[in-house]
Amino acid sequence: MRNHDSSSENWRGRTALMVAHCAGMVDLVALPVWIGALIARYHLQPQQAGMLLTLFLLGAVGASLFCAPRFQRLPTRLVAVGGFAGAALAFLGVAASTGYAQMAGLHLLAGVAAGSALSVTHGTAGLSINPHRMFALCGMALGVFAIGFLGAMPGIVADNGGSALFVALAIVMLVATAVSALLFPHRTVVVQADERGPRGTLPPISSAVWFAAFGIGCMGLVQAMMFSFLERIGADRGYSASAVTGVLIALGVVNLFPAPLAALLEKRWPARHVVLAGPVVQAAVALTIAHSTSYAGYAAAGAVFAAVMIFTHTFAFGLIAQLDPAGRALSATPAMLMIGAAIGPILGGTLVQQAGYGSLGVAAVLIATIAVLCFARAGHRYTLRSTQ
């Protein structure tokens, strides 16, 4: 049973978790500008650019997998502060880099650092009284952040070069470092003795959690694969820089709504149904982006693409919190998302280089099918568990 004295129940703690979520999930917002800058400003091939993002995300996956099973023992505030500070230094290093190998190593280090901080952030959010609502607040904050970032960064990069992007990412991490140092909430003890297994150990995580985690990973793969090339698709189809930037700004505005909507519908829409529909809608939107021949279709689909992931993941977060009240699985949320997302940029870059942008839509449909099967299995096991 949760101890409700956690400071994540006041606005100081919530603010820290919201800021930390924005910094740790910056890839969810920055991917199109990030990939676009690497290709247009650093003159990298799509596959090379995708590999740098993959290294960042693989670092985050590794850090999350390390932190999650140790979450109950980690000094969470210290990990958050150290992680974000380390990511800031790594991004400053990327901004000053001239060689691809150096950029690759620093992307990996930045991912490890940011992933560690994000892991304890999500684990702590999962210990709040209402994890679904807490994650919805984090999603709202990410939407606000996305408007400013996506509205400003394309112009800043155009005027100041690709290094400006990495300086901006470093500033984001430094802000999260300061806020975490001052406000990061204390972890609470969440499991009573009668909920523990033999010799006081925590019970094993149920298979339903792992199916849900794999489903989230599949959605993260589609998100990263498609979103990485959203800006490039528009540019290569001849749309003006202002038209493409307009889509990115619209995407940021739209991202304000899925998290509060998910919070509003928490008691009305069963999570197991939402997570089944999410991959289907995501694949349909990805197909539209990949194959649309008109600006209107590209813009409409691009504006709502990330919102599908935010809405679905909020329900999945709440569902997993019910299945694992100790917070271990939620501490692994970055790994769930980013193990798929880590493959996305390099897979997307390879597909684009070999078969064009249309291949991204076909791949999205295939991956969505796997996600639906995983969520169906997780939902079935959750239903069996809840009726016992």
* Residue 160 resides in a domain: yes
Angle at 48 between CA 46 and CA 52, to 5 degrees: 115
Q: Which long-range contacts (CB under 8 A, 24 or more apart) does 384-388 make?
A: 385/206, 385/208, 385/323
In a domain, 197, yes or no: no
Q: Identify whether 123 is part of a domain.
A: yes
| Residue 118 in domain | yes
Q: What is the pLDDT of residue 340?
A: 77
Instruction: Give the CATH number for residue 267.
Output: 1.20.1250.20
Tally the domains of the chain: 1
Q: How many CB atoms lie within 10 A of CB 353?
A: 14
pLDDT in tens, the chain (388 residues): 344 444 556 778 889 999 999 999 888 788 888 988 998 889 999 889 889 988 998 898 889 888 877 877 889 899 999 999 999 999 999 999 889 999 999 999 999 999 999 989 988 887 777 777 787 888 888 888 988 888 889 889 989 988 999 999 999 999 999 999 999 987 654 444 444 444 445 556 667 777 888 888 899 899 888 988 888 899 889 999 889 889 988 888 888 888 888 888 888 888 888 989 999 999 999 999 999 889 999 999 999 998 898 899 888 877 777 776 655 666 666 676 677 777 888 888 889 888 889 999 999 999 999 999 988 887 665 554 554 4
Q: Is residue 45 part of a domain?
A: yes
* pTM of this structure: 0.75
Convert the pLDDT of each residue in 337-357 to its tens digit.
Answer: 677 777 888 888 889 888 889
pLDDT in tens, 125-159: 877 777 777 878 888 888 889 888 888 898 899 89
Q: Report if residue 3 sits inside a domain.
A: no
Which two tokens mark 11?
A: 């606005």
**Inter-residue contact 132 to 274 (CB < 8 Å):** no
Q: Measure CA 114 to chain center.
A: 12
In a domain, 199, yes or no: no
2 in any annotated domain: no
| Residues of the domain holding 275 | 8-191+205-387
What burial letters (b/e) apply to 64-89, b meaning 16+ CB within 10 Å? bbbbbeebbebebbebbbbbbbbbbb
